[in-house]
Amino acid sequence: MQIAISQLNFHIGNFESNKQKIIDSINKAKLEGAELIIFSELSISGYPPRDFLEFDDFIEKCNTAIKQVAEHCMDIAAIVGGPRKNPNNKGKRLYNSAFFLNEGKVQHLTNKTLLPTYDIFDEYRYFEPNTDFEIIEYKGKKIALTICEDLWNVDDVPMYSVNPMDELMKYKPEIMINIAASPFHYKQAEIRKEVLRKNAQKYKLPIYYVNHVGAQTELLFDGGSLAMNSKGEIVEELRYFDEDFCIINSETIETKTSNIQISQSKIALIHDALVMGIRNYFNKLGFKKAILGLSGGIDSAVTLVLAVEALGKENVEVILLPSQYSSDHSVKDAEDLAVNLGIKQNIIPIKNIYGSFESELEPFFKGLEFNIAEENLQARIRGVLLMAFSNKFGHILLNTSNKSEAAVGYGTLYGDMNGGLAVIGDVYKTEVFELAEYMNKDSEIIPWNTITKPPSAELRPDQKDSDSLPDYDILDTILFEYIENRKGPSEIIAMGYEKHTVDRILRMVNLNEHKRYQTAPILRISSKAFGMGRRIPIVAKYLS
């Protein structure tokens, strides 16, 4: 049997677009001789639809679109993901289903069994888990059809008490098909391949796996759909971060020569994911142009290069907002970068505006020393000016804060934390430096002085980040152990870090939760990003 894998970039709630993409792909598959085509999890609605699933109208539109797709399934079958109502009078009102379409109608329904609720997932909020197991027989083949998490219960210490494939093996299937929406982080592709490999080897069956691709606000999906033989060897791997399509003959999958994508470094993966995230955020919202404040520092420089790659130089504009504390070299670095990229730049010195605020506040601040109030005032002036441009010209302001700063609160609410999208908010400062060097691998795009000079917010004379924070090599390692690895203070101290430093950093992380609740969506590239996947109380005493 000729099986097509169609890896598409769907748009949540855009039923007409999603439906047409699926129909176009079905027609392409028919022309190329495919007998079955598979699409990703919840493909008809887009993933994750979240509380849209609570609207009957949303579910009805999904069902209508599925029926319209089915009309095009003549002389070919398709597996399409979508939500559907639970016909029983108990349990959750919906199933996360795979619709098997053939001869113009829905011929079979498979419901998802394992509903993840960890990290960014909250599927049990909406869906009833499947309890009935049966295979699909088509073109003389017995198919074990599963949905994403259903194949992930293969660890030595399983998370779930049920294993769908164990149940389906009772019916002696000949192939496994898994439709998925597996979100990206820079280690996920290798983890995912190992999970699929374990399934293929355990059940001694080939696997056809289709993954979602594209960005849905902060969630990024990397694609990488594949076909794997029963020995766990990848024989076909689709592109990453882009739509793709292939057809595999089930009769020759065991002997087919492998066609594997070239593996990328961690930083290359992060780079490509962020470019896709920016591009999809703008395209799916219907915006074209971005604006950001360019300081001459590394964070805004990296954000700018990513934005230009995603949107084109004609769609990105920068404003330089130097104060009396900005160094001449920082301004020149910013100007040089804008010239290197060929983008429009404007400069608005904030010294006089800041002086006006100082004058108005002088009666109230008289006799008090310069402190964080004056520093934040400069950041907020910049934020006001950037938002004025955003409002006047309809540009989306890109936030340039990194994960290290977001973690410890090294940023100003309603100032440099402004923005419609936080591009590098899940990228540690040390990784920002690696990204900058990666961007300069072929030629100098970001001025080397931007990369090599000591980081500084330049909000007071001779200020450096190291005045307020530990060195980033130490800070980022401790943050990673606490945030990604969920290690407590005693465990981190046992790794050789000073107790005072560890306690101080962890306290800053927890005390600044209120800031992170008010930030723009952060593009997720790690296994534990700030945002929907990390739920920490604001009014809590733990470590604060």
Active-site residue set? 41, 112, 148
Q: In whole angstroms, how far apart are CA 346 and each of 107, 339, 383, 421, 544?
A: 60, 12, 15, 21, 42
Q: What is the DSSP letter of 124?
A: G
Collect all residues with Cβ–Cβ distance below 8 Å to 482 and sequence separation of at least 6.
488, 492, 505, 506, 509
Long-range contact set of residues 380-384: C-beta below 8 Å, sequence gap at least 24: 380/412, 380/414, 380/415, 381/321, 381/350, 381/353, 381/354, 381/357, 381/415, 382/293, 382/321, 382/350, 382/415, 382/416, 383/412, 383/414, 383/415, 383/416, 383/417, 383/418
Residue pair 240/273 in contact by the 8 Å Cβ criterion:
no
Give the C-alpha separation, 1 to 227, whole Å. Answer: 14
Q: What is the DSSP letter of 54?
A: G
- What are the phi and psi torsion angles at 270 (to 5°)? -60, -45
- Could you give the count of Cα atoms lying within 13 Å of 132 in the half-sphere of its Cβ? 9
Residue pair 32/6 in contact by the 8 Å Cβ criterion:
no
Residue pair 318/334 in contact by the 8 Å Cβ criterion:
yes
What SS3 state is found at 81?
strand
Pairing of the two strands 244-249 and 290-293: unpaired
- What are the phi and psi torsion angles at 337 (to 5°)? -65, -45
Residue type, 3: I
Give the C-alpha separation, 48 to 42, whole Å. Answer: 8
| CA-based torsion, 87, 88, 93, 98: positive or negative | negative
What SS3 state is found at 464?
coil
Give the C-alpha separation, 388 to 94, whole Å. Answer: 44
What SS3 state is found at 138?
strand
For residues 393, 396, 402 and 407, what is the CA-based torsion angle, rounded to 10 degrees?
110
**What are the beta bridge partners of residue 137?**
142
The token duo for 478 is 């401790």
